[in-house]
Structure 1
């Protein structure tokens, strides 16, 4: 179910949004919805990384490889969904 909201944008930003939407043959709303989804997904991925770090603080010998392995794991989960 969709819900309508009112948002205000600076003129220059709205002009850019409209230009991109026109170039991609999409509505302004579609473009803004996609931007919101992308932002939320990006924030969720970073939060997962921060949570891993916070939960790993009890580990005495966390290595750079541990962090890299967790990043790879999160990226693989994202690709699978």
Structure 2
């Protein structure tokens, strides 16, 4: 796989850019490095959540449980934990 960098222009609110610069300075890296890492992290997390929901859809479509049944069960477990 051939990795070629491409420059893009992005607009940020002034306050957000200040935060980005502050973190980048604290971590001794460039603004670009920080933003690239943030983008990679977002994409990885989004991909993981999509795979979780895809798996859940497959499981629930094969079972007799509805989404409401699952949420009700979660609520019951949480209530029992709080009572303990």
TM over 0.5: yes
Structure 1 unaligned residues grouped into runs of 5+:
65-81
Structure whose alpha-carbon radius of gyration is higher: 2
Regions of 4+ moved over 4 Å: none
Alpha-carbon distance between aligned partners in 1 of 2:33 and 2:61, rounded to the nearest angstrom: 44
Q: Deviations over 1:24-72 (max 9, x none)?
A: 110000000000000001001100001001112332256x7xxxxxxxx
Whose RCO is larger (CA < 8 A, sep 6+)?
Answer: 1
The normalised TM-score by structure 1 is: 0.72
Aligned to 1:58, the other structure's residue is in SS state helix
2:27 is equivalent to residue 28 of structure 1: no
Report how many residues are paired: 63
Structure 2 unaligned residues grouped into runs of 5+:
71-84
